[in-house]
Structure 1
Amino acid sequence: MKTSNWRKRVMAAGLVLLLAAAPAFDASAHGSAGLQGPDSGIPPENKEGRKAAKQSANKEKKVAVIIDDFGNGQGGTEEMLSMPIKLTVAIMPFLPTTKSDAEQAHKKGFDVLVHMPMEPKHGNPKWLGPGAITSDMTDEEVRQKVEEAIDDVPHAIGMNNHMGSKITGDERIMSIVLKVCQERGLFFVDSKTNYHSIVGKLAVNMGMPPVANHIFLDDRHTISHITGQMKAVEARAREYGNCVTIGHVGTQGQKTAAAIKSSAAEMQGRVTFVGISDLVRDIWGWHPAPILPSNNN
């Protein structure tokens, strides 16, 4: 953020990640499996090239599991907070257990995100919770909502959207949200509730990491489905080197927790479970430089 070189680095990294996620991407040609094959494009006599390819193929595969909707003592909260793998906990502001959930997660070494309520295109407004950002707000009101939410969630190092399919497609509002995050030293994780989200593009233009969810775990609330999604998470991590995935606490939160725990045990040794901040540092080399004071320590 401080230099033109840094901005170029973030923009380049963002472009690489966007290309990696594109449907037209030819994984057989560019993925880690392709690097190990005879058609990798590395001459047999080029020992250094083969060595580099082997190192890339053997690079640690990382998975960041984000669990949304903490803050209201919902089902699965206790199970998630006692999970034997590293999680990222997204906590809604201004709710009964917002602060206690954040404190417990921080003590466990989990990353904490502000789970920012944002207006959806469709859905029950009652699900938004307090402090939500809506499309009829002025610039000043949006800024105030984001500032207050950050201050209400202890130990937050980033933010993601709760619902928000309408807001994440709104350039005016998301520009303000990202600007406040940037000033406060937080990154923003696009939950990808909107296929046409403009968050990644705005983040790159602002010199911020374009972090985004790749796979929802519990869009269907059965253990078999969530287990299948965890297999997809591993497959993506093995192909691209990393995967960001989102699950939830809630009425079916105990099922999600049980499926994650059993799947993670089976995946150990093939992937490494990390906090979302670990991926942000590893992929984009991004280190925050807060401008505004924060009581969020």
Structure 2
Amino acid sequence: MKRWLSSFALLLLLNLPSNVEAEIRKELAIVIDDFGNHMEGTEEILQLPITITAAIMPFMPSTKADAEMAKEFGHDVIVHLPMEPKKGKKSWLGPGAITTDLSNEEIRKRVIAAINDVPYAVGMNHHMGSKATEDVRVMRIVLEVCKEHGLFYLDSKTTGKSVVGKVATELGVPYLENNLFFDGIYTTRHMMKQADLLAGKLNENEQMIAIGHVGITGLKMVDVLKAYIPVYKNTAEIVPLSELIPGFELLDEGV
């Protein structure tokens, strides 16, 4: 795997003086989506020697088992709430999806049910959701429920027109924004390119969030992370999402 590392990444890995490392120490949160359905790479990702954030879909065959496993390995658990995209079939979303044609009452009911179905959840992000996250009415209800349950929200940024930040700020809900997807294209070459891009961005930013997936890219994701964990650790501390939110330890630790 190390043959894939760029010269830039190798420079970070091999030549960074310890005193410089201490001065530029940053924080990186790695989120892995789509747990909950016996997806390929599940155990391998959770057993990596870093703390990740496991985004687990509700109402799926291994929802609770994956949450238990993630908790056992010391990872953050968040609800990976299926939400309506602009393109694609609603059937791709799975059970309990939030769509823009639902009533206020039904949206609220589904969000509460999803939170209750994912043990140990401390936050939430969305599965797909490019249409729903542009809808102020929908996101206000989703975020109100998050606030009631003491959850933060990660905007996966599946659309550039997301209203999550605006509504979360109005409601006082802690929120974060994704900076990079590892696997928007399913090839190892693309994923390594994104991993290398992230290594560069860690030099420019104090805090970064990156999202990958189990499933189609699951085992590739494992290999990419194994190659780049040493690179990232030379520049940043790899932390769960909850550590990026000041004072989050004062909030409810999940249900």
TM bracket, shorter-chain basis? 0.7 to 0.9
Match of 1:246 in 2: 211
- When the two structures are superposed, what TM-score results if normalisation uses the length of structure 1? 0.76
Q: Distance in 1 between matches of 2:45 and 2:229?
A: 13
Match of 1:20 in 2: none
Q: Distance in 2 between matches of 1:185 and 1:139?
A: 20
Q: Is the 8 A contact 1:234 1:271 kept in 2?
A: no
Within-5 A mapping of 1:1-297: 58-281=23-246, 285-287=247-249, 289=251, 296=255
How big is the shift at 1:273?
0.7
Q: Is the 8 A contact 2:149 2:254 kept in 1?
A: no
Residue correspondences, number:
236
Structure 1 unaligned residues grouped into runs of 5+? 1-53
Q: Distance in 2 between matches of 1:221 and 1:133?
A: 26
* Larger CA deviation: 200-209 vs 129-138: 200-209
How big is the shift at 1:295?
8.3
Q: Distance in 1 between matches of 2:35 and 2:208?
A: 22
- When the two structures are superposed, what TM-score results if normalisation uses the length of structure 2? 0.88
Q: Distance in 2 between matches of 1:176 and 1:245?
A: 26
Q: Is the 8 A contact 2:151 2:254 kept in 1?
A: no
- Identical positions, percent: 47
Q: Distance in 2 between matches of 1:167 and 1:180?
A: 16
How big is the shift at 1:289?
4.3
Say which structure, 1 or 2, has more relative contact order (CA 8 Å, 6+ apart): 2
How big is the shift at 1:81?
1.1
Structure 2 unaligned residues grouped into runs of 5+? 1-18
Structure 1 pair 295/187, CA: closer, same or farther in 2 (3 Å)? closer
| SS of residue in 2 equivalent to 1:150 | helix
How big is the shift at 1:124?
2.6
